[in-house]
Amino acid sequence: MLASLRILPNLVSPKYWKEMGAQIKLVGQLMKDGRVPLYAKSLPVVVAIYLLSPLDLIPGFLPVIGQLDDFGLLLMALSAFIRLAPDEVVKEYLPQGSALSA
């Protein structure tokens, strides 16, 4: 039961990084598609600007947690962007049997 309540991803799993790569590729394809609304496309842009800016909610010099907040924000933004995109457009770009379709 505790295994199903995982909050943090298994960062050492090759499966996790393969799914992350597929998610990033999907975001790139959706950003180019004209059927995705502009308000949805603004989310990854705003998060990228925040990540590149010198301002930070939790300073990077704090060990581990300073980097994890940026990584967590990136994961949430990618997921939110995919959810904001129209379902029929997302399904066009997903490969058959993809874990992202669930």
pLDDT digits (tens, 9 = 90+) for 20-39: 888 999 999 999 999 999 99
pLDDT at 96: 67
Q: How many domains does the chain have?
A: 1
pTM summary value: 0.74
User: In terms of residue numbers, what domain contains 56?
Assistant: 35-94
User: Residues 12, 13, 14, 16: is their CA dihedral positive or negative?
Assistant: negative
**Tokens for 72?**
């967590």
pLDDT at 1: 43
Identify whether 72 is part of a domain.
yes
What parts of the chain have a pLDDT lower than 70?
Answer: 1-9, 60, 96-102
Beta carbons of 25 and 79 less than 8 angstroms apart: no
Task: Give the separation between CA 45 and CA 74, rounded to whole angstroms.
Answer: 11
